[in-house]
Amino acid sequence: ENKMTEPQNLNPAKRYRRQDWPGELYENGSFYFAKRHLIEKGYLQGGKMAYYEMRAEHSVDIDIDIDWPIAEQRVLSFGYFGKEQLKEVKLLVCSIDGCLTNGRIYVTEDRKEMVSYDYRDIVGIDLLKKRGIQVRFISDRDCSKTLSAMQLACVAKVNATNKLQVLKDWQEDMDLSWKEVAYLGNEESDVECLKQAGMSGVPADACAAAQKAAGYICKSAGGCGAVREFAEHIFLLLEKVNSARKQ
């Protein structure tokens, strides 16, 4: 826009170190563009100046060892999509027990099983479908009655002894690249699927092996809004894709 930034409480020639700056906005030193005569005078800024404000999740300074876990948590919270070309997610595969439900099975006296789910997750599934993303479910056990009762109208594979093979079959049938596949799991049986999918996530209470394999760890536990939260993470990627296309 050919506009200059006018500092109100900062002398660019004698500015604070970032670590000593008491203000809310500070320089992260990601990049500087300056003319040669300024650099020869020992300045990184001067003359006509403009600043670019970076989002917090894109601005991480690693100065000491405790900065590493902060950086890792930001990657887990906001994702890291690398330098490869971004692609829209077209398919989300979700493990039923422990993701869509909390993993608990209630048994009545007449031996009927009952499970609970969070309505927020159902809303998240509907939002994904409205954005043109297919949602499919997978389970180690036969929970077809549970899915039927929830009336989700989604493709599901139960009694899946090899989840990765099921995932590959779906990916090939839909003619998708792995970058277009997202997977939400929580158990050791989901680990290979989490590693294969272009976008992967787990609920907050997933097992350690699944958490290690996932690219995103939800703040919500399974059956308590994790599906909706992961859907929001997918929408964040879609925004990045659309933004990249516009540029």
CA distances from 44 to 6, 9, 15, 70, 219 (A): 16, 17, 10, 28, 40
Selected catalytic residue, list 15, 74, 120, 136:
15
Encoded tokens for 70: 């902060």
Encoded tokens for 174: 């839909």
* Cβ burial 222-231 (10 Å sphere, 16+ → b, else e): bbbbbbbbbb
15 is catalytic: yes
Active site residues: 15
